[in-house]
Amino acid sequence: MPVLLSTAEPIPADVLPELLDSRATLTSPAGVPAAVVRTLLDTAVPPLFEQSPWLRKHRAVVLVDGRCPVGDHVLAYDERIGVYAEEVQ
């Protein structure tokens, strides 16, 4: 579902449940290096999320073809194991 993260408008009622269902908690060292978690925490909360008490402390990770570069790593998603990190070669 396309979502415009840069808008400061309230999240539409039909979109919020889908955003909440797509949340993931990344913890270190459980498959995600501490450097990745720190990089994400240093990333600004999207304006769209700032308007929601449910999402205002979340960061957006946009996966393209199941992957997202984060610093010296790439976050990837697998339906069986969830989100994991790979070092950039």
Put simply, whether the predicted model's pTM sits higher than 0.85 gets the answer no
Mean pLDDT of 70-89: 88
3-state secondary structure of 13: coil
Angle CA 21–69–18, to nearest 5 = 15
Mean pLDDT of 75-83: 87
Asked whether the predicted pLDDT for residue 76 surpasses 80, the reply is yes
- Confidence label for 48 from pLDDT (cuts 50, 70 and 90): very high
Contact 71, 39 (CB under 8 A): yes
Which distant-in-sequence residues (6+ apart) come within 8 Å of 34 by Cβ? 28
Domain boundaries, the chain: 16-87
Question: What mean pLDDT, rounded, does the chain reach?
Answer: 88
Per-residue pLDDT of 17-43, as tens digits, reads 999 988 887 777 766 888 888 999 999
